[in-house]
Amino acid sequence: MTSKVIYQGNLRTEAEHLKSGNKIYTDAPTDNNGKGEAFSPTDLVATGLASCMLTIMGIKARDSAINMEGATAEVTKIMGSDPRRISKIIIQITMPPKNYTDHQKSVLQKAAHYCPVFNSLSDDLEEEVTFLWK
């Protein structure tokens, strides 16, 4: 088992990662009857995609002796309706100021698109990923 999720009432859940004991909380977003005081479940999907992309890039960077520590990802999630779902995720990955070669840039950008979350999402979901190299 990976996690345990408890519904706490008032559209809030507590999820515990069983191996580490770490906990995260979700709230329904304000546009769906919630308080928006924590990540919504759909926020976690979009944020999980960015985290996964940076992680897979990090694995490739480590294996290729590329320093990408300090890379960031800004995430925008756009909701659709009928049915209510994530229709688009926009991710801007900003790389720290290093002297990346064109080859290193290509390797890292390709790695990002091999993340398991990216490959698990519906083909109907639009993903827009941009890379900023300082």
pLDDT digits (tens, 9 = 90+) for 26-62: 999 999 999 999 999 999 999 999 999 999 999 999 9
Are 112 and 124 in the same domain?
A: yes
Give the pLDDT band of residue 74 (cuts 50, 70, 90). very high
Same domain, 26 and 44: no
In 3D space, the residue among 102, 93, 103, 104 whose CA is nearest the CA of residue 127 turns out to be 93
Are residue 64 and residue 124 in the same domain, yes or no?
yes
Same domain, 48 and 62: yes
Q: Is-contact 73 54, C-beta < 8 A?
A: yes
Residues 99, 83 within the same domain: yes
Cβ atoms of 27 and 40 closer than 8 Å: yes
User: What CATH number has the domain bearing residue 126?
Assistant: 3.30.300.20
Q: How confident is the model at residue 128 (pLDDT cuts 50, 70, 90)?
A: very high
Q: Same domain, yes or no, for 34 and 46?
A: no
Burial 20-58 (b: 16+ CB within 10 A, else e): eeeeeebbbbeeeebeeebbbebbbbbbbbbebbbebbb
Domain extent at residue 46: 40-133
Q: Could you tell me if 34 and 44 lie in one domain?
A: no
pLDDT above 70 covers a percentage of the chain that reads 100
- Please compute the mean of the pLDDT values over residues 6-27 and round it to a whole number: 98
- Looking at the structure of the chain, the number of domains it has is 2
Same domain, 49 and 10: no
Q: How confident is the model at residue 12 (pLDDT cuts 50, 70, 90)?
A: very high
Confidence of residue 134 (pLDDT cuts 50, 70, 90): confident
Task: Tell me, yes or no, whether 48 and 108 share the same domain.
Answer: yes
Q: Could you tell me if 73 and 100 lie in one domain?
A: yes
Do 98 and 85 lie in a common domain? yes
- Checking if the pLDDT of 76 tops 90, the result is yes
Residues 91 and 50 in one domain: yes
Q: Can you give the pTM of this predicted structure?
A: 0.94
